[in-house]
Every structure is written in structure tokens, then in C-alpha cells.
Amino acid sequence: MQKHILVIEDDRAINEGIVFALTREGYAVHGAYSLKEAQDYLQRRMHLILLDINLPDGDGRDFLRNMLAGQPVPVLLLTARDSEHDMIKGFEAGCDDYITKPFSMPVLLKKIGAVLRRSEGTSRQVYVSGGLTYDFESKLLTKHGKPAELTALECRLLELFLHNRGIVLTRETLLERIWDADERFVEDRTLNVTIRRLRKKVEDNPEQPAYIKTVFGLGYKWEDGQ
């Protein structure tokens, strides 16, 4: 599977140089020149983010600490600051590695390869879309970095949707495949309540859902919030 890498760097020469080199190595590379522009790319699944610290609209470490918290994407910081204090602050913010400017492109490529291998070696089944993350192992749902507590029934319903993304699930199918904590059949009214509660936890606007779509006359379909 082709790896997607996001480069967040306001220096156009550096950004374009990295994009060119990584594309030549077979990566799918996306370039952003500001934190605001980067947020649009976070709607997609990224395997690695190269993040400059000094950006025109903020500090990359604050972005890492606040916007990327809870997302299982490794981050490599790019910066001209090479003091031990600055490096420690970067790691405390949550970066996986650090490279100082000016840097050698072969060294950057080696670091990227190492970070991606470490990430794959510890990977878990995790769903990520926009600001939404769900870890199938821990049953932890986070939205924009904040945890959202789920009931056992809500977990079952969410996982059923995630395993069938883009597929219309009829109400009959949902009722057949989700059960309550005591393995009892779920009633139609309970399904309505559970869908409503789950929407409140995953949607930014439950009245206009981006994920759990109603397909009138048929049932529901999970879309990736695009």
C-alpha cells in the first residue's frame, strides 16, 4: 500500500524539494504551507507528517500537541533550532523524531523510513477520519483529541458501521447483528436511541451528519466524513 505523507513547511523551496524527493521514492506526498492549509489534508489518512516548527500561523509544536493529539500518525519535526532544550520540547509535544535544517535529503529519507517501520511494527487496528479516531483494541473513541465514552451497544454499532463503510445497512441487518450486554435482541426503539446517541458522539453537527448517513427507505450508511 502506498504511504501518504503530509509536508507542512512554509518555505516553498524546502517544501517543494521534499515533495519532489519523496514522490520520486514512491510516496504519495501532499504539501501544505500553513497550519490552516494542513487541516484540510487531515481529513485524509496520513501515514507520516513532516512538520516545521516556525509557521506563519502558529507553532508546529502547539499544533502537534493540540490538533494531532490522539491521532496515531507519526510526526517528524523540521526545524532550524538545534538546541537540546528545543529538541526536548519537541519530543514532549509528541513528535517521533527530529531533524534540523539544513539537512541532507538522504538522511531525511532514512529517518522517514525508520519512523514508518517503527509505526508499522506497533500498529493497531485504528480508524482515523478527520478529527475522529477509534481504536478497536481499546474501544477508545476520540473526537478532535477529546475522548468520548461509549456504551457496549454503541461500540458494537460503531464497529459494525466501520467494518462496512460505504455500504447501506438496513435496519433489519442492524437489528440482527447487534445485541445488548446480555446478548439479547435489540428492539427497534433501542436502535433509534442508540443511533441518535452515537451521532452526538461522532458528529460535529448531529442534525447534518457527515458520518452516519440516513438512506431514506433503506437504512444507514457510514461515510468517511469527507
Instruction: Give the H or E element holding residue 55.
Output: strand 54-55
- Distance, in Å, from the CA atom of 122 to the CA atom of 29, rounded to the nearest integer, reads 23
Question: What residue segments make up the domains of the chain, in order of their start?
Answer: 4-121, 126-222
- Distance, in Å, from the CA atom of 23 to the CA atom of 70, rounded to the nearest integer, reads 28
What is the phi/psi pair of residue 67, to 5°?
Answer: -85, -30
Instruction: Please give the pLDDT value at position 188.
Output: 83
Instruction: Please give the pLDDT value at position 215.
Output: 93
What is the model's pTM? 0.55
Count of Cβ atoms closer than 10 Å to residue 158 Cβ:
23
Where does the pLDDT of residue 69 fall: very low under 50, low under 70, confident under 90, or very high at 90 and above? low
Where does the pLDDT of residue 43 fall: very low under 50, low under 70, confident under 90, or very high at 90 and above? low
Count of Cβ atoms closer than 10 Å to residue 117 Cβ:
10
Let me know if domain 126-222 sits in CATH 3.40.630.10.
no
Count of Cβ atoms closer than 10 Å to residue 60 Cβ:
26
Instruction: Please give the pLDDT value at position 180.
Output: 52
Average pLDDT over residues 91-98: 84
Average confidence score pLDDT of the chain: 85
The three-state secondary structure class of 204 is coil
Instruction: Please give the pLDDT value at position 194.
Output: 92
Among 48-57, 120-129, 131-140, name the most confident range.
48-57
CATH level 2 (architecture), domain 4-121: 3-Layer(aba) Sandwich (3.40)
DSSP state of 100: E
- Distance, in Å, from the CA atom of 193 to the CA atom of 191, rounded to the nearest integer, reads 5
Instruction: Please give the pLDDT value at position 225.
Output: 62
For residue 181, pLDDT over 70 is answered with no
Which three three-digit cell numbers place residue 135?
Answer: 481504536
